[in-house]
Structure 1
Amino acid sequence: MTFCFLIVYVPFLIMIDTKSSLRFENNIAKILSQAVDLFRETGLTELADKWDRILKNYYMKKGFH
């Protein structure tokens, strides 16, 4: 009986882990994007360009569009 219980609920736990992982990755992208905007607004264009490259590389590695 316990074995059947685990089979039913394990996919649900994996799904939760995938969602939290995706949420974490989205938060990283959001933080990088906000940093780029902040640097541009404060006139730190060189720093904004560097962080923008980091953000673009992050998008490419993670497969975001």
Structure 2
Amino acid sequence: MQIIEVNSRKISRVFYQHLLLTVVLKTGEKFIYRLLEASTFKEFSDSADKDKFYKSQIKANKKFKRIQLFG
């Protein structure tokens, strides 16, 4: 499992393992995305504006299955 702490306005941290991307928002909400390619995580971690990348490339991508976690 890879974990990155994100210095952004909305995202607290991101976990990645076996094409599952878990995004933890600063509001406490957690979302799991089932990705199609492992390179998406690398592109996210290399992006200069992680909030913008998350919103435009992951959250808005209908090909990624999104599941909200509660608890």
> TM-score, normalized by length of structure 2?
0.27
Higher strand residue share: 2
> TM-score, normalized by length of structure 1?
0.29
Higher helix residue share: 1
**Structure of larger gyration radius:** 1
